[in-house]
Amino acid sequence: MKSVAVVIAVVSLFASGALAQTAKEVSVKTMPPSVVKTVPVAGDMAVDPALKEISVTFSKDMKTNRMWAVCQISKETYPQVAGQIHYLSDQRTCVVPVKLEADKTYVLWFNRGQFNSFRDKENNPAVPYLLVFKTRQ
């Protein structure tokens, strides 16, 4: 029994030390970026089909030199890209020029699985984000 208690004590000390080390490493700089805003807003059921750009804004400055992964789940739910995907000068907002159709549901992933090119300046991949919206008639 005494050896079991020693093992538990050692494991507890190791775990608390590991947790303390992890806590020290947690910072805005080390955590991955996340989506803080999209246009259109996720879940919107009445998006104007004349909308010319979908934009996604992240919580941190991003690598902007052709670093994006706008992923589809199907051809039918992915918008027609109508220009060059690019970042705004704020280095946080990525713009996808699109041509939308009326009365249609669109689905886009920003980062998904192995496609994780949205990355911050520290090379942390962004948390995957699912944008689903529908255009009005």
Q: What percent of the chain has pLDDT over 70?
A: 82
Q: Express each pLDDT in 13-53 by its tens digit.
A: 445 454 554 556 899 889 999 999 999 999 999 999 999 99
* Closest by CA position to 133, among listed 36, 63, 43: 43
> What value, to the nearest 5°, has the Cα angle with vertex 136 and ends 133 and 137?
145
pLDDT at 107: 98
Read off the pTM: 0.81
Buried b (16+ CB within 10 A) or exposed e, 12-43: eeeeeeeeeeeeeeeeeeeebbebeebbbeee
Q: Who wins on pLDDT, 4 or 83?
A: 83
